Structure 1
Amino acid sequence: MKITRVETIPYSIPYTRSLHFAVGSVAEAEHVLLRIHTDEGLVGTADVPPRPYTYGETQESIVSIVRRIFAPILTGRDPFEREFIHKGMERTVGNNATKGAIDVALWDLMGQSLGVSCHRLLGGYTDSMRVSHMVGIGTPETMLEDALRVHEEYGITAVKLKVGRSSIDEDVAAVGAVREGLGPDFEIGLDANHGWTANQAIEAMERMSGLGLTVLEEPCPASEVLGRRRIVAQSRIPVISDESTPTPGDAARELLAGACSAINIKITRTGFTQSARLVGLCEGLGVDVLIGNQIDTQLGTLASVTFGAAFESTSRRAGELSNFLDMSDDLLADPIRIVEGRIYVRDVPGTGLLIDEDKLEKYRQDGQR
């Protein structure tokens, strides 16, 4: 089996509600659908979410880097030659989401070729993932309303609240209101998206120490080296590194420096191959891992469930798997269902990322309708 071409299709789908966080907001899924075609007629599929405020990638840069740099590396190769392909892509710095999507599409092709699901190829530990919902910055009332909505409609019992406002008073008030409204048994974690300073993070966590919080993600910029160490040293809950550890090398550096005590794995950033290496690294060092969300569509979410349910360590905690609920539509032909707070894997060859071609034609932005 040989790769014949790599296709990139930019598309845009509006959200029914915007997600607000410390470094920006998202009102539309302006993503890129990536397809790797082969001479045997098999097609590997993945979704690429541009996040210019996090990784510097845009729709335009993704399409360009694939066509000019990565497609020549892939064309003519066997999809099973992942190490050769990854070595070729490593010569180009950055472009994490693009590289991650290419890796997922390669695994999709391998699974289809073997007639085996990627979930089983990766490890097949369990058949589902518990869901955590990411709640954007808002008033205490709107944040509680969002958490109650997903609990009542989908049985979700875990949330991660976006914080990191310039006024920690507002964050403390919002988190307190959500805890009071949800009761003591609901899991609540926080993500500041490095919006606080180290001193603000320490003060905020002291003031919220009685709220039963489970995790704190990216409390301040990773560049505040001593500040991050102080936060980790004083924290009673795992301090998660996310955007500051986009590669296994970054994760090793931050963990060994004492700048975090857990790692957020995002499939849309590290694909399946690098994510598996992150799992091994964290298991070896004895730190927790969390399956995160890059404000994913159902395509990205299904890839995350495929990976997260494949390993024991990634299935311990609820994964951030539900923000597609705020999208007005999606490209996935068979929509994801959340049943009693869980999403189940699909036992089909590859990843099961089958596209509704009519919807793709409706939302694509490359003028080729």
Structure 2
Amino acid sequence: MYDIDCLCTTIVQFKMQFGNSIFIKGEYKMKTMIKQIRSVIVDVPIKRPHQFSTEIVSTKSFVVIQVELENGLIGIGEGTTPGIWWNGESVETMQLVIERYLKPLLINQDPRNIEQLLQLFDRHVRANPFAKATVEMALFDVVGKIYNAPVHQLLGGLYQDAIDVKWALATGDADDDIAEAKELVSSKQYRDFKIKAGKYQPVDDAKRAIKIAEGLHGISSIGIDPNGSWDKLTAVRWMEHLNDAGVDFLEQPLSPLDFDGAAKLVSMKKVPVMADESVATIQDAQRLVQEKAADIFSLKIHKSGGMRNTLKIAAIAESAGLACFGGTSLESSIGSAASIHAFGTIRNLSYGCESFGPPWLADDLVKNPLEFKEGKVIIPSGAGLGVELDEMKIEKYRRKKERVTNGVF
């Protein structure tokens, strides 16, 4: 027998939480439709200059978006790139694409139909994965808030609730990098590291990387990332030396287009070769597997157009017996939260991640930054991304002259 009083009480509780609209056909769906999308560009300082292969930076730029529903719920997303040199996108192009091309496709749409919306994006806007990933992030955030569930549950549930983080050594000086790493290890902040290379000639880069690896031998694991700046002859020549120095992986040593060269390095069976720029799409992943041109895939939600595509790429790696690594575009706690929600669901994430963006920045864009503890980042358990936008920080770091004014908040 059913308890009528209990049933009535349950109905009242549902009405209090969701309103009467949930009991009216079509009404609740209407109130979850997308009403507005707003965007802003912010420039946030970083704690110390960071050396990439082509430039040194002291600030990090982001495009932050808010997707607002008819019922008042708001999802947030963040777009950023290492630089326009990485894949041709910038925060300015992302904002333009979002405001002018993606926004009209989204208004009055149900955010819960994420896969349909992603297909709509691809039909109307070629490429621009960073812009698409920014919007997808906000969609997952607001859908998580609709169901009061963290994004990782929407993606299949966690395989691990905390992920090892590799800190990037990028001062540009070998001795300074060694000193920084030893300090971080002794303070129990980080245990593992990645060396940013590519600024100097390939031979000089290799020698510097070996010096750092030898200086940290027995203390931590070390990977090297030349950002595709080495040539095949140099990489082949130094693979044995890198292996002897204890280098854990070599990330994107060659041009993203040099699949034959990457396959040659993999065949040497010395230092594991990690694909980054060369594995942006699902088709890239399939080709790398077919040509045996990678041992590890570096996953980044922005370069692949979002979390859904990233998980598809991870599945291809798993099917081929390859490992994965959680890469970064140096996001704040917004983008980093999205990344680790996805990374935490991946079974073959054997090399941890490098989602160190929040502590790398001099300030954050949320009220509750991600938690880092003894070399790990903790995956948020709150609804959606599990982080709350700090409007005061947005105002503080807002770029004075916006490239796009329509919908800017």
Q: TM-score range by the shorter chain?
A: over 0.9
Q: Distance in 1 between matches of 2:165 and 2:371?
A: 11
Contact 2:228–2:252 (CA under 8 A) maintained in structure 1? yes
User: For 1:182, which of 207, 216, 219 is the aligned residue?
Assistant: 216
The Cα of 1:154 is off from its aligned counterpart by 4.1
The 3-state SS of whatever aligns with 1:319 is: coil
User: For 1:84, which of 106, 116, 119 is the aligned residue?
Assistant: 116
The Cα of 1:74 is off from its aligned counterpart by 1.0
The Cα of 1:277 is off from its aligned counterpart by 0.9
Task: Indicate yes or no: 2:186 matched with 1:152.
Answer: yes
The Cα of 1:185 is off from its aligned counterpart by 4.5
Q: Distance in 2 between matches of 1:310 and 1:258?
A: 25
The 3-state SS of whatever aligns with 1:258 is: coil
Written as runs of structure 1 = structure 2, the 5 A alignment for 1:192-271 is: 192-270=226-304, 271=306
Amino acid at match of 2:309: Q
Can you list the C-alpha shifts for 1:238-275, whole angstroms capped at 9, x where unaligned? 21111122111122122212322221111233321111
Unaligned runs of 5+ in 2: 1-31, 402-407
Can you list the C-alpha shifts for 1:154-213, whole angstroms capped at 9, x where unaligned? 431111111234434433332233233323241111111011001111112222221122
Amino acid at match of 1:114: Y
Classify 1:235/1:136 alpha carbon distance in 2 versus 1 (closer, same or farther; 3 Å): farther
Can you list the C-alpha shifts for 1:126-157, whole angstroms capped at 9, x where unaligned? 21111111112612111112222332334311
1:48 paired residue number: 79
The Cα of 1:97 is off from its aligned counterpart by 0.9
Amino acid at match of 1:126: Q
Classify 1:188/1:58 alpha carbon distance in 2 versus 1 (closer, same or farther; 3 Å): same
The 3-state SS of whatever aligns with 1:47 is: strand
RMSD: 1.9
Contact 1:18–1:26 (CA under 8 A) maintained in structure 2? yes
Contact 1:189–1:215 (CA under 8 A) maintained in structure 2? yes
Amino acid at match of 2:153: R
The 3-state SS of whatever aligns with 1:45 is: strand
Classify 1:130/1:32 alpha carbon distance in 2 versus 1 (closer, same or farther; 3 Å): same
Contact 2:202–2:229 (CA under 8 A) maintained in structure 1? no
Written as runs of structure 1 = structure 2, the 5 A alignment for 1:100-139 is: 100-122=133-155, 123-136=157-170, 138-139=172-173
The Cα of 1:332 is off from its aligned counterpart by 1.6
Q: Distance in 1 between matches of 2:189 and 2:215?
A: 16
Aligned residues: 368
Q: Distance in 1 between matches of 2:199 and 2:233?
A: 13
The 3-state SS of whatever aligns with 1:243 is: coil
User: For 2:397, which of 357, 360, 363 is the aligned residue?
Assistant: 363
Classify 1:346/1:25 alpha carbon distance in 2 versus 1 (closer, same or farther; 3 Å): same
Tell which deviates more after alignment, 21-30 or 122-131. Answer: 21-30
Q: Distance in 1 between matches of 2:116 and 2:159?
A: 28
Contact 1:133–1:150 (CA under 8 A) maintained in structure 2? no
1:293 paired residue number: 328
Classify 1:113/1:226 alpha carbon distance in 2 versus 1 (closer, same or farther; 3 Å): same
Q: Distance in 1 between matches of 2:202 and 2:241?
A: 10
User: For 1:274, which of 285, 309, 320 is the aligned residue?
Assistant: 309
Tell which deviates more after alignment, 43-52 or 303-312. Answer: 303-312
2:27 paired residue number: none
TM-score (normalised: structure 1):
0.94
Can you list the C-alpha shifts for 1:322-351, whole angstroms capped at 9, x where unaligned? 143332211121122321111111111111
Q: Distance in 1 between matches of 2:318 and 2:260?
A: 25
Amino acid at match of 1:102: V
Q: Distance in 1 between matches of 2:240 and 2:60?
A: 36
Tell which deviates more after alignment, 175-184 or 8-17. Answer: 175-184
Q: Distance in 1 between matches of 2:158 and 2:375?
A: 20
User: For 2:377, which of 340, 343, 347 is the aligned residue?
Assistant: 343
Q: Distance in 2 between matches of 1:179 and 1:225?
A: 27
Say which one has the larger Rg.
2
Classify 1:45/1:347 alpha carbon distance in 2 versus 1 (closer, same or farther; 3 Å): same
TM-score (normalised: structure 2):
0.85
